[in-house]
Structure 1
Amino acid sequence: MLVHGLWRLLAGLRTAIANLLLLLVLALIALVVLMPRAGRIPQGCALLLNPGGRIVEEKSAIDPLARLISHAVGSALSEETLLQDILDVIREAGKDNRIKLLVLDPSDIEQASLDQLHAIGRELDRFRERGKKVIAAADAYTQTQYYLAAHADEVYLNPMGQVALQGFALYRLYAREFLEKISVDFHVFRVGTYKSAVEPLLRDDMSAEEREANRLWLNRLWEHYAATIAAKRQLTPEGINALINEMPTRLLASRGDSARLALEAKLVDGLKTGPELDEFLCQQVGKDEDDGFRRVDFTDYLATLTPSYTKAPWQERKIGIIVAHGDIVQGKGGPGQIGSDTLAAQLRRAADHEQVAAVVLRLDTGGGGVLASELIRQELLDLRQTGKPVVVSMGSLAASGGYWIASAADRILAAETTLTGSIGIFGAVPNGHKALAKLGLHSDGIATSPLAGSGNITRPLPPELRQVLQLQVEEGYRRFINLVAEGRSMSSEEVEKLAEGRVWDGKSALELGLVDELGGLTEAVAVAGGLANVPTKNALYIKQSSSSRWGVLRLLGEALTQPQGTTRLFAELARQVLPQGASLIGPQLYGDPGHAYAHSLLPPIR
């Protein structure tokens, strides 16, 4: 019996070793196939720049279980391309003697903010300044895609395609009548003439105040877009606007041919089918051994590079870069969220690390919970107490709770098209007792005080709690005003004039003193380096800890052991698996203990 058992053990070990050897061989094969192909870049070839999906500054931390579930329910996760990867590839290709020209195909770009497009456009300009040509080609161009294409020396379009210039629009759903019909009340508490984040709960249309404020910054953003493509195409902004406003008439003159109209309007330089384009590019750089023109793809070329901000001399002082994007929530947060615990841990790591001499906080957020925002601001102040300068670099959006955090920095940089400000807070508490009553459901019981059990949505909101919440919101607003005044060296009266929830574009924010200068992440790193006397080549990303990237597995454990664990688990799965923008009125309200939120709740600009 003993001999038989030992034999089975040895047989099992032999099988395990054989499997390990097989895995090792497969891993080596994969390594050979996927290894950087620096030696395979042909001399005088083209770089095919064809990023796809959403352009992001940090990829979503989707944990494996959520990814598996998303595939199981047929909800594919959106592709993401790092902005810094695109910038690195263009920059290095400009210096690479093997790369003769750049072929830009933006067809797969689904989403990118204006400040991201501007950053890519600048690198394309620098590529051209080195005497190298950029050729843009696509079957059709969305407004986002055409912004990049306009930076090319030559722009080509499929004869059946179009350039879809339409201008910018800002629309949201207003739900007052809907809420009345389903007998759901939203008790709203707010301060500020322009704090319109909760208007969709209170109105069926846009208020005059919101219309006034939004028109200002939306026009500024469009002026930037139109001026940029006009300058690149040797047109005028007035001509671009006339083309859009007269589109039906212009298209009628072109007999409904959108591609011909784009050519006549000088938006493109020529119309080419796929085979014609391939032949044209072969004439530029020669024919590839396999098929098509000689080229190196974006991902293959990227694999040969060392990404920016990932390596620095070991013993030298460094600039730490922390990227924070999404709605601000308490705790660890999930994909598309800034968790106060997670970001605080990153800031503490920067404060405690002897070699980190300065920090750049890259913020892209519309805001969130007041308490969560304040917890992060406190960590930022503690970091500054160590003598390390903190520079905030604003992305496309750094408003409300985002500005609450940014106000604690030594310096603030924003892009010209950044949306910021929105200095104001609100509270919103739903109540469904009327809807339940229509279904024959009624809540009753006893309590030791008027406030006990008052958070129960099955019961009317007591007047005592209404008074408490309004007082808390008013105090939160005063605190917001004061901390901005302190951080920006302004008087409370000066901040009041800029506040009341009003949103400002980056250029206006600079004029008003809400930011210190215009620029992106590169400029922010340079400012931080100057303050700490550290060269910019010593900048490094400070990443989240790996434990924060396993949210679903952590919540699965909580679901088995804690009363509210199941609710949190399904909420987390919904955030990771459901498509973005599934909410009716914008981001959810994230459980602030005082029901107080510093959030702009801006809908996407279309």
Structure 2
Amino acid sequence: MSALKSFISTFSLFLQKVRTIILDLGTALILLFLIIAVAGALFSSGPDVKDPSGRVLFIDPAGSVVDQEAFNSDFLFNVGGDPSAEQIQTRDLIKLIRAAAEDSDIPAVVIDFSSTDFAGPTTAINIAKELKALRESGKRVIAFNDRLSTTSYLMASQASEIWVHPVGSISVRGLGGMRNYNKDLFENLKINFHNYSQGDFKSATETNWRSNMSDNDRMQREALLFPIWDEMKSLMAEGRGIQADDIQSFADDYVGFFGEAAIGNIAYAQANNIIDGTKSFPEFRQYMIEEFGLDEESETETYKTISYSEYSKQIDDDISESGNQIAVITAEGTIMEGDISQGVAGANGVVKQIRSAHEDENTKAIVFRVNSPGGSIIASEMMRDELRAAKNKGLKVIVSMGDYAASGGVYISTPADFIFAEPTTITGSIGVAIALPTFENAMDYIGVNFDGVVTSKHGGWDLTQPIDDDLDKIFASWGADAYDRFVNFVAESRSKSYEDIKAVAGGRVWLATDALEIGLVDEIGGIDSAIAYAAESAEIDDYKVEYYGQELSPEELILKELLENFDVSLGEPRVLSALDGISKLYETLIDIREPKALFTCKDCLVDLD
């Protein structure tokens, strides 16, 4: 025994030394990076400002297009990481595109969205419409890609011409996807799943206790996906001067999976005006030199270009001196307790922003931008409570719904005086998701027994034990009470009866145009419409718009500024796109270690490629 204790003690000391060395090394690397960055700031004038006159603007966002950028708490330790993990705010990208449309010094724009993720279908459609307006302004827009997917082709189709590499890829696969249904697996593993979800359409947990998709879930998904897909096809077809059926045929018969060497797809696309043709990288470069001239300042032979990051720094900000402020606060991603991070609408952070806004005497109204399919009940309550505190001060609260404002996204919208939603916003899902596994059969099978002493009937219960009748009633009432509270809040918010809201609730997901008809939203419109309405409601003509973002510490702010000024990527470890990130977070949430009721909507997440 003494030998074992000696070994453990020695090993513990070894681990402490290793930990100390690792921490010291990490700290040294961070300090070295900061020293280099600060030295660069002191002894360099920064990057040269390139004159955009006569230069082709190159727009190739690499990263995720989101409503509001957010940073993980450990971003200081991830500099130099994955450069594709950048975040591009939707409003910044739109501002850039609109500025280019009005800039007579820019002869053309080249676009490549093959490395761009979008928060959801509405964001993608909105950016495509901005590119369409850019082309219709008379600006020459040229798309050149080595690979095109559904969303990147949606962007490219708005260009004046589309060129693809001869051995690249083009594949328009449409929307939707498959979910795994695990009932048989759990039965084989002797795991029992108990469903206490509220709402006949609330299918967030049905993959755990069904072998296939329920009829209700199939119906609501079809009601969402087909109209959104029709809108995308319409934009693609209109941009290319072809029919929507041509896009559908291409999607059905020329699907691609490998991202390269889709030679048959490219040949079909060229023959049917889906693209203009093919060019290799040298051929495209020579084509652009012939069209727009040789860049005499470049070290290599190329055409005159300016990157979108260089150009964006030269766009004048709309700075208002008004003492009136419209505060725009964003809840984007999974609603959870804690701080804001990528793909997570952290309630602590969002509440802090709301409080900061309503405590500012210059704030005349709040626009609450919701781009979330829900999450934690208590976190949703925290946001709702703080919005009500703002209303109690006489401030108008206007909600602007983005790609998703469903389940918890609806819950946090209930204090609104008025709700705007985009045409393809996914909303509704007024219900409660709760399902939990128990492992009593598995424990029995492997020969594990439990015994002990408790001072209350269920004091020793956990997921390794069965649910008796009394506990079953407790869990059922738990979900029912949360659902009843949800329906009541929505009914009060929408000035409708409990029965009216319950009739359209049931966990069902609605497209915004349908939600408007049943009274869940007030008007179809984007965030600009919401801001204008907020100003009108506050009875102010002169105002500035203040976008509230995540607060960083002084050292984080300094590092962020240094990195941005010298074009160094923050290198976030894997930005959670508001699709993949939210989906992964839901999988974590549903992997219950303790029973938990959630306002979540897995039904509303649309798979884009």
Q: TM-score range by the shorter chain?
A: 0.7 to 0.9
CA distance in 2, matches of 1:21, 1:414: 47
SS at match of 1:98: coil
Q: Which moved more, 1:534-543 or 1:20-29?
A: 20-29
Which letter does structure 2 place at the counterpart of 1:400? S
Check 1:231–1:462 CA distance in 2 against 1; reply closer, same or farther (3 A cut).
same
Which letter does structure 1 place at the counterpart of 2:113? P
**Aligned counterparts, 1:185-200, within 5 A:** 185-200=192-207
1:418, 1:505 within 8 Å by CA — same for their partners in 2? yes
SS at match of 1:34: coil
Match of 1:47 among 38, 57, 82: 57
**Aligned counterparts, 1:460-475, within 5 A:** 460-475=466-481
SS at match of 2:169: coil
Which letter does structure 2 place at the counterpart of 1:409? A
**Aligned counterparts, 1:402-551, within 5 A:** 402-454=409-461, 456-535=462-541, 538-546=544-552
1:154 aligns with 2:154: no
The equivalent residue for 2:565 is none
Which letter does structure 2 place at the counterpart of 1:26? G
Q: Which moved more, 1:355-364 or 1:331-340?
A: 331-340
The equivalent residue for 1:33 is 46
The equivalent residue for 1:560 is none
Aligned residues: CA RMSD: 3.1
Q: Which moved more, 1:126-135 or 1:492-501?
A: 126-135
With the length of structure 2 as denominator, give the TM-score of the two structures. 0.83
Deviations 1:131-156 (A, max 9, x none): 22111111221111011111111122
1:105, 1:138 within 8 Å by CA — same for their partners in 2? yes
Deviations 1:414-466 (A, max 9, x none): 11221110011132233234334444433221222223233x22333343222
Shift of 1:218: 1.0
With the length of structure 1 as denominator, give the TM-score of the two structures. 0.83
CA distance in 1, matches of 2:593, 2:523: 33
Which letter does structure 2 place at the counterpart of 1:147? L
1:312, 1:540 within 8 Å by CA — same for their partners in 2? no
1:101, 1:132 within 8 Å by CA — same for their partners in 2? yes
SS at match of 1:55: strand
1:53, 1:110 within 8 Å by CA — same for their partners in 2? yes
The equivalent residue for 1:395 is 402
The equivalent residue for 1:302 is 312
Count of aligned pairs: 548
Check 1:22–1:516 CA distance in 2 against 1; reply closer, same or farther (3 A cut).
closer
The equivalent residue for 1:108 is 115
Match of 2:134 among 112, 115, 127: 127
Q: Higher RCO, 1 or 2 (CA under 8 Å, sep at least 6)?
A: 2
The equivalent residue for 2:357 is 350
Check 1:226–1:549 CA distance in 2 against 1; reply closer, same or farther (3 A cut).
farther
2:324, 2:542 within 8 Å by CA — same for their partners in 1? no
1:587, 1:601 within 8 Å by CA — same for their partners in 2? no
Which letter does structure 2 place at the counterpart of 1:80? Q
Shift of 1:274: 1.5
1:58 aligns with 2:80: no
The equivalent residue for 2:599 is 598
Shift of 1:273: 1.8
The equivalent residue for 1:588 is 589
Q: Identity rate of aligned residues, in percent?
A: 29
Match of 2:232 among 222, 225, 228: 225
**Aligned counterparts, 1:286-301, within 5 A:** 286-289=293-296, 290=298, 291-301=301-311
CA distance in 2, matches of 1:582, 1:595: 18
Shift of 1:592: 11
CA distance in 2, matches of 1:44, 1:595: 59
Deviations 1:570-603 (A, max 9, x none): xxx99989x8478597351498997221111235
1:206 aligns with 2:213: yes
**Aligned counterparts, 1:59-78, within 5 A:** 59-64=69-74, 67-68=77-78, 78=85
CA distance in 1, matches of 2:375, 2:581: 17
SS at match of 2:412: helix
Shift of 1:536: 7.9
Q: Which runs of 5+ in 2 are unaligned?
A: 1-32, 256-261, 557-572
Shift of 1:225: 0.9
Match of 2:291 among 284, 295, 311: 284
Which letter does structure 2 place at the counterpart of 1:601? K
Q: Which moved more, 1:299-308 or 1:75-84?
A: 75-84
1:197, 1:600 within 8 Å by CA — same for their partners in 2? yes
The equivalent residue for 1:171 is 178
Shift of 1:305: 3.1
Q: Which moved more, 1:539-548 or 1:294-303?
A: 539-548
Q: Which runs of 5+ in 1 are unaligned?
A: 1-18, 249-254, 551-572
Check 1:22–1:139 CA distance in 2 against 1; reply closer, same or farther (3 A cut).
closer
